[in-house]
Structure 1
Amino acid sequence: MNQRATFTTMQDSTADDWNAISAEFSAFTKGLPDRVMAHLQLLEGDFGGFPVDRYTHSRQTATRALRGGEDEEYVVCALLHDIGDTLASNNHPDIAAAILKPFVSEANLWMVEHHGIFQGYYFFHHLGLDRNMRERFLGHPFYEQTAKFCALYDSPAFDAHAETLPLEVFEPMLRRVMAAPRRSIYSR
């Protein structure tokens, strides 16, 4: 796996170059779950003023979803919904959605993309914002799913005494969900 392309500009690339790149890409993508878990662990100790750190919140949200009978893909979405907090504090749902987009259903992707606005129902009014901002999505096919995610799993996952399963419980689910992309510009 040490072959490298020889071009200096993409317009000069060849099929042989792209065969070398594709082999590396394939091997690299297999490590995605490991990189995602490592990044999720960066949230450990990052409280940001919250009662629990973001790593605990992420695992607790996923634990609640698992205990609530949600399917594996949904649980993985719950686990990763705030993974972007350290990189994009002002638009963290976009980071999580970008990571999950190739692997999850349209409904689960929409839920992750919009959970920040829906979660705002519980606290925006304390910041002088419109807590009903989510109502602009009333009638959307995934409105109820996203409202439920926030109400049952995301919003109550700040309890230092609540059940919070270790990452190892979620690892096999994450690996299965990320095993084969459903949509990618790099898929035929």
Structure 2
Amino acid sequence: MDVINFTQMKDGTKEEYEFLAQKEKPYLALTAERVLSELRRQGEDSLTGYKINRLQHGLQSATRAYRDGADIDWVVGTLLHDVGDGLAPQNHDRFSAEVIRPFVRDEVTWVVEHHGIFQMYFYAHHYGWDENARDEFKDHIYYKSCADFCERWDQSSFDPDYSMESLDFFVPMVEEVFSRKAYDPAVIQENVVKGIPEKVTT
């Protein structure tokens, strides 16, 4: 069989669906490369007006996380926290969270999913918005993790003079994370708070 015969999913046979499942395996194995390609695109086609582009912002954020001793889930989640900017600029935080959700700790996914409203703390008043909108989550188990993520690694990462690691530096980490079994409970660790590591001082 080279292609399936059905034109409606309800008409597919067991043999056809088994065939499709085999076709899907190599495609899923290339997820990391597609994610990396989107990051690279952000270095060429990005929001303008900032001193750095979106790829550089992700690299700078992830570099800060890495240098603070964050684990691989935090580093990759931080690198990809704005990966949704291109396709979903109005809800990029949720989009980005869905990219990483099957492969990282629940805490990291939640932080990426909610970082948009938490970031408003730093600028919303300039637009007449509520800078304390994040307070609706003040009793959430991951509130402090998200507030710390935004303060330490996100809002501070628009500096063209910061010496950040290259994308190549992070490629092995991205590949490792996306090679994990999707939704593995041992990885997802729902309701586990590891928090942002203490800032490394030199």
Same fold? TM cut 0.5: yes
- Paired amino acid for 1:79: L
Distance in 2, matches of 1:16 and 1:4, equals 11
Structure 2 partner of 1:7: 6
User: How many residue pairs get matched?
Assistant: 183
Post-superposition offset of 1:180: 2.1
- Retained in 2: the 8 A contact 1:3–1:20? no
Distance in 2, matches of 1:163 and 1:143, equals 29
TM-score normalised by the chain length of structure 2: 0.87
TM-score normalised by the chain length of structure 1: 0.93
Q: Which has the higher contact order (CA 8 A, sep 6+)?
A: 2
Distance in 2, matches of 1:122 and 1:175, equals 33
Gaps of 5+ in 2: 185-202
- Paired amino acid for 1:86: G
Distance in 1, matches of 2:7 and 2:47, equals 45
Gaps of 5+ in 1: none
- Retained in 2: the 8 A contact 1:60–1:157? yes
Return 45-54 or 67-76, whichever deviates more. 45-54
Same amino acid, percent of matched pairs: 36
Structure 2 partner of 1:71: 71
Structure 2 partner of 1:108: 108
Return 84-93 or 39-48, whichever deviates more. 39-48
- Paired amino acid for 1:26: K
Distance in 2, matches of 1:3 and 1:170, equals 37
Structure 2 partner of 1:39: 38
**1:150 to 2:145 alignment:** no
Query: What RMSD in Å do the two structures reach over aligned CA positions?
Result: 1.3
Structure 2 partner of 1:173: 173
Structural mapping, 1:19-168, within 5 Å: 19-45=18-44, 46-168=46-168
